[in-house]
Structure 1
Amino acid sequence: MPRSANTARPQRRRPVTPRRRKPRRSKGGFGWFKAFFVLGAAAGLVLAVWLVLIARDLPDTSGLADVERTAAISFYDQTGRLIARRGSAHGRAATIDEIPPALVDAVLAVEDRRFYGHFGVDVIGTGRALLANLRAGRVVQGGSTLTQQLAKNLFLTPERTLRRKVQEVLLAFWLESRFSKDEILELYLNRVYFGGGAWGVEAASARYFGKTVSELNLGESALLAGLLKAPSRYSPVNDADRAAARATVVLDLMEQTGRITPQERIDAASTPIRVSRGASSPGAQYFIDWIAPQVRELAGPDHGDLRVTTTLDIVAQRAAEQSLARTMANPDTARGASEAALVSLAHDGAVRAMVGGRSYTASQFNRAVLAQRQPGSAFKAFVYASAFEAGLTPDDIRSDTPVAVGDWAPANYNGEYRGDITLREAFARSSNAVAVRIAEETGRGHIARLATRLGIESRLRVDRSLALGAYEVNPLEMAGAYAAFANGGYRAEPHGILLIEDRSGAVVYEAQPVGHERVLDDRTYARMRQLFSSVVSWGTGRNAQAGGLTEGGKTGTTNEFRDAWFAGFGGELVTVVWVGNDDNAPTERATGGGPPASIYAGFVTAAPQYGLASDPAGAPLALMPEAVEPDQPVSEIVAEPPEAEERDPIAAFLAGLGGD
């Protein structure tokens, strides 16, 4: 029987099988690549914009041939020998054909040995320098090429920033595209600084050797190339031994890079280098510092190049420097003193020698002019001169026994007293007791007025300790005041300038003879000469004897042996020597009859005013037979001043009372 529609069998549903999704292909690698690509493109775009902005801010290069310079002042001694040059001394521009191949090779060996092979930036040298600095944790090498150095010298400031470094690279590329290698080298050698105020090889050749650049030999070329690393540090003017050592290193590098043969290196090292006479007295820079402001004041603010003839005698200057250095280098003779100063004047006050300290390179503080120190017993010369003006004589007797002025009771040196003695003996033995007695007897005010009359300009305290030099003076004014005891009793004003001329030879200033003021009468003058002679003959200044050359002098030692002085004269010179410590610390019992008298004796023995027959130029600068510095790839070294602080390597890469 057929089924009705309502009773039809329900259809069986097929089980639904979930559709399997096709696995998606991984897009991870492509995504990272795309991200890196986008980031790289963005970074490149930012870098490009940044470089465009830096390029737009590049300095104007149109003045490439212009040389910006300041007026140069050349200083000569009284006989016309060059002492120093201040300001920018630019020699004429030398062509590459005039520059000796040895100098070119020396510079490239030191500064940029791959100069002819790179395009302005030395990739190998830059990478090597960066790695070396990172390993050392400080600056040991630099990657600047000679072209980069030229770009920096011509157009940029010395600041150490990433921006400045990028500008340097861009300008180096510009120079390389605009000029040939020889032209770049020529520009560099005519603009680079060699120290001593000399810019360019021609000025440096004249400054150090008194010759043109075309006349330089191999050793002289090596010395100049060695200056580029640090002109002040390696200057033969400041340190001949260091300059010689550096020149030797340059020769070694030239041999290692095949620019010279071993025999040429030996021959160069065996040939002494003679630095020009005027450039071989570093201590004279103290004198130049003293007179340079006076020259500018006399010449006016708008002066051009000047030639200054000074009163200095370069031979006497060398003798002073050598004697001071010899005494102070020996601990037995220096006796705990670390510094010294010397001033030597002609009888009219003209400065013949001035040494302001042991080393001008180490300290430019001029102790001969600026150090205010107590003179101690050296001031007694004014005490006794005042007494003689009041009518006393060298043979008058005074008591050398303990003395007191109120509650002040100064003692003699070592506590020794001799009873009744003559004023001559009291002066020769530097008795404090007698000096105080005659000061109170003749009047402190009269003593102060006499000292001022003779040339003491520092303020004097007119109190009971005046007789023992318990106030401060400097060696220069002491020398000026003592000149009256040597020249017949006339006041002498210390001075250092004789003549100033401009570039054309026109006289800008000429010192005029000054009418000498009589400050000591004949009787006082003669009696003081007797006393000074006794000090050197048998008194506290016996060590100042120099084969009969010293006619007289006076020692001075302050409380706790902080300062030691000797002031003496003989022949045509009056000389004052001070020895002590800058921090006023006591010495190891250094007295005026010790280191100062020794320095004085050594000086006058060699000074030309005492009969020196010849005018020695000094020992020539000798190169070393072997290298004295570690071998290193100097082509990757950046010329840095010796005073430069250590910097982050990446940033640097980017960029009293008493007697004697």
Structure 2
Amino acid sequence: MSGSGKKNAPLVADRRYSGGSGGKGGSTPPRKPAPAQKPAPRKSSARPPRRHGLIMGLILGLVSLIWRVVWGIGWRVTALLALVVFGAAFYFQQQLPPVSDLVDARARGSVTMLDRDGQVYAWRGETFGGMITSDTVSDHLRNAVVATEDKRYYQHFGISPRGIASAIRINLSEGRGPLEGNGGSTITQQVAKLLCLGVAYDASKWKSEAEYEEDCRGGGVWRKVKEIPFSIAMEWKYSKAEILTIYFNRAYLGAGARGFEAAAQRYFGKSANQVGPAEAAMLAGLLKAPSRYAPTNNLKRAQDRANVIISLMEDQGFLTAAEADAARAKPAELSEAAAKNAGGFFADWVMESGPTFLTKETTEDVIIRTTLDQKMQRQAEEALAYVFDTKVKEGSNAQAAIVVMSADGAVRAMVGGRKIAAAGSFNRATQALRQTGSVFKPFVYAAALDLGYSPADFVEDTPLTINIKGSGPWTPENYDKKFKGLITLTQALAESRNIPAVRVSEAVGRDVVRTVASQFGVKSDLAAGPALALGASESTLLEMTGAYAGILNGGSSVKPYGLVELKLQGEEGELFGQGGGIGERVISQNAAQLLTYMLTQVVERGTGGRARLADHPVAGKTGTTNAARDAWFIGFSAHYVVGVWMGYDDNKPLSGVTGAGLPAEIWHEVMARIHKGVPSQPLPMIVPEARTPPVASAGAQASSGGVAGVPAEQQAPLPQGGQQPAPGAQRTGDPVEDALREVLGTISGTY
């Protein structure tokens, strides 16, 4: 049945596209197919690539190229430098010797000086206390050094890039070059400098050890660069403890102390393994500037520096707050020997008087026993300070020197000058040649007494003129411009009359006076003219004091000495013994004791009254040179001889000062102090018998310049230019002639 619609229509796919004009009327055009759905894209965090312009692209490409070139070169250069550093470090590591060969850095030895009682009082050269290790020193000392110099010492490998960067930053901020000032050096680098980067001392290359060390400590880029492999080599070769050991032994710590053991002994009188926190901090503080912070130079400055170190130790946990407070409350103090700093000038003199190869240039450690009495040294220094503090105007630049010795020439104390600005280390007791003035006169009278004159003999104090060949007439004057006529030799010396001294000198002969003085130890070039008698020649205080010691000991020469025994440290036998003492006889004992009497009268009734002691008999002589450029007092008791000089270094005149003034007072203060508790003892002297002066006869003319009461035709021949008439040396048998020869005023007033 067709067309009935009962059968299902066949399945036909929908037409998706129209094929022409369409179907017959009413037919629906085909639908457009729906587009296929795509899955939603995932969200991404990456930014879409930027598109740069041509110029920016070129720039970025150029930068990228440069970076690749730099990186390519950089890592290769770095690798090459690392290889070079490694090679250099390996080379140095192979060259480094055992630690025991590096602990003593000295090219020269030391001199340790002992006083008369065997106590240490001075050091010279560079002392080395013996090897110590970082394990045997005090924990406080090890901690103080690490806290001060390199707090990261146990963490780095020899150098600290962080420390170097910090140092460069500090240097630049303070206006210095990057490698000037702070160096950021580790302890290892400092040890590398102490070892001079392996360069040994060569005397032919450097003028001195000091110059060598200065070169070793020098900066500069090349030295800093060289320090790096050397420091790495040390860390490679040695342990941290061994590097510290080298440091502890080689570091210079001021006052000639090389190493912490020597410094601890020098400053505190104890070993480096016994120092406490305050002492350890002071020692560690010396590493920055040994001379500036040496406690023997300025104890307060050294203590202030130590307080800085104590704070560092506290901050880094090496000290508790209580320990740090205790260390600040009780700062380190010098040992008695170091605090006294005794005998500086004396020690210098001993160093000069000993053999050079065992003193200043010694390569050995030497022990010298000396004559110094430390108590007397302090007393002499105190006496000088007392007089200048109480009797000299403030701010005076006048200098003074003192020598104290025994009758045999053993020097017990020496003050070479006052410690004032620009005083320097010049020893005015041993190095200053100054005119002696009237302290020379005793040797004029010594010559006369040895020829037979008596202190009771007479000499004219009347006007005198001497014609000096080639110079013309010379007329000496007395200090007071007055004349006393006929006086005894004793009075002439007591009052320091110039004209009588010249008459006596001319009578006995200048050559004789010169010989006597030189044999007593006055070694300087003595004047040839008649002014010899008035001390126109120059001498040192030490020489003059030694010459007076010859008078005290009975007329024998004396060579002042300070060295008693010299030997090498650790050895028993001495290499050198005493370098001076009593020598040959110069004048008779009788003459010396008569002269001693005359010198007592200088103090008792003459120019030396201010030197008088209440409980000890003393003898001495004042001296003042032209225009008061030098003022002296030298004298003695039965126990000691003391010489005092005063003047200016530039030789300008003293104001209102003579030997009878301040020098006599200084002498008195010294003698009073050194004789405290010493029993009084009489001087070895002879008191002469008094004599009656000649009585003027009716025909004698006092104004003629001859001896009162003696006709001119009976007077002795006049001396010629230093020839010796030697009156009084022998008796002729003629009473008149003998009496004449006993009178030193037999010289006419003009010749």
* Alignment-derived partner of residue 77 in structure 1: 115
Change (3 A) 1:244 1:31: same
Shift of 1:414: 5.8
Aligned: 1:596 with 2:657: no
Shift of 1:369: 1.9
Aligned: 1:340 with 2:400: yes
* Alignment-derived partner of residue 522 in structure 2: 456
- Of 578-587 and 393-402, deviating more is 393-402
Aligned: 1:86 with 2:124: yes
Change (3 A) 1:236 1:329: farther
* Alignment-derived partner of residue 642 in structure 1: none
Change (3 A) 1:110 1:530: farther
Equivalent position amino acid for 1:94 in 2: I
Q: Is the 8 A contact 2:631 2:645 kept in 1?
A: yes
CA distance in 2, matches of 1:416, 1:402: 9
Shift of 1:427: 2.3
Change (3 A) 1:200 1:484: same
CA distance in 2, matches of 1:419, 1:249: 76
Shift of 1:56: 9.6
Shift of 1:256: 6.5
Change (3 A) 1:252 1:462: farther
* Alignment-derived partner of residue 574 in structure 2: 507
SS of structure 1 residue aligned to 2:559: coil
CA distance in 2, matches of 1:228, 1:602: 42
- Of 377-386 and 436-445, deviating more is 436-445
Q: Is the 8 A contact 2:399 2:648 kept in 1?
A: yes
CA distance in 2, matches of 1:498, 1:541: 34
Change (3 A) 1:555 1:514: closer
Q: Is the 8 A contact 1:82 1:277 kept in 2?
A: no
Change (3 A) 1:481 1:217: same
List runs of 5+ in structure 2 lacking aligned partners. 1-52, 198-212, 468-472, 680-751
Aligned: 1:372 with 2:372: no
Aligned: 1:209 with 2:274: no
Shift of 1:450: 1.0
SS of structure 1 residue aligned to 2:586: coil
* Alignment-derived partner of residue 99 in structure 1: 137
* Alignment-derived partner of residue 62 in structure 1: 97
* Alignment-derived partner of residue 530 in structure 1: 597
Change (3 A) 1:505 1:390: closer
Equivalent position amino acid for 2:266 in 1: R
Identity of aligned residues (%): 38
SS of structure 1 residue aligned to 2:596: helix
CA distance in 1, matches of 2:311, 2:604: 56
Correspondence list, 1:63-462, <5 A: 64-66=99-101, 67-69=104-106, 70-113=108-151, 115-116=153-154, 120-121=159-160, 122-123=163-164, 125-127=166-168, 129-131=170-172, 133-134=174-175, 143-156=184-197, 157-159=213-215, 160=218, 161-240=220-299, 242-248=301-307, 250-251=309-310, 254=313, 259-260=318-319, 263-271=322-330, 275-282=334-341, 284-292=343-351, 294-296=353-355, 304-328=364-388, 332=392, 336-359=396-419, 363-400=424-461, 403-406=464-467, 407-413=473-479, 415=481, 421-462=487-528
Whose radius of gyration is greater, 1 or 2? Answer: 2
Change (3 A) 1:176 1:416: farther
Equivalent position amino acid for 1:322 in 2: E
CA distance in 2, matches of 1:253, 1:542: 62
List runs of 5+ in structure 1 lacking aligned partners. 1-21, 614-660
Q: Select 2:621's aligned residue among 541, 554, 560.
A: 554
Cα offsets for 1:162-215 (capped at 9, x unmatched): 322332344334434555544433331222122343322222222333322222
Shift of 1:398: 4.2
Q: Is the 8 A contact 1:344 1:575 kept in 2?
A: yes
SS of structure 2 residue aligned to 1:517: strand
SS of structure 2 residue aligned to 1:500: strand
Change (3 A) 1:68 1:127: closer
* Alignment-derived partner of residue 710 in structure 2: none
Shift of 1:35: 7.5
Shift of 1:269: 4.8
Q: Is the 8 A contact 1:81 1:314 kept in 2?
A: no
CA distance in 1, matches of 2:59, 2:68: 14
CA distance in 2, matches of 1:584, 1:177: 63
If the length of structure 1 is used for normalisation, what is the TM-score?
0.77
* Alignment-derived partner of residue 465 in structure 1: 531
CA distance in 1, matches of 2:389, 2:435: 24
Relative contact order, CA 8 A, sep 6+: which one is greater? 1
Cα offsets for 1:498-518 (capped at 9, x unmatched): 222332312323349977422
Q: Is the 8 A contact 2:343 2:414 kept in 1?
A: yes
Shift of 1:108: 3.9
RMSD: 4.1
CA distance in 1, matches of 2:677, 2:520: 29
Name the count of aligned residue pairs: 591
Q: Is the 8 A contact 2:171 2:180 kept in 1?
A: no
* Alignment-derived partner of residue 540 in structure 2: 474
CA distance in 1, matches of 2:522, 2:627: 24
- Of 548-557 and 302-311, deviating more is 302-311
Q: Is the 8 A contact 1:334 1:595 kept in 2?
A: no
If the length of structure 2 is used for normalisation, what is the TM-score?
0.68
SS of structure 1 residue aligned to 2:652: coil
Equivalent position amino acid for 1:103 in 2: L
Q: Select 2:549's aligned residue among 476, 483, 486.
A: 483
* Alignment-derived partner of residue 625 in structure 1: none
CA distance in 2, matches of 1:288, 1:535: 34
CA distance in 2, matches of 1:435, 1:62: 73
CA distance in 2, matches of 1:591, 1:43: 84
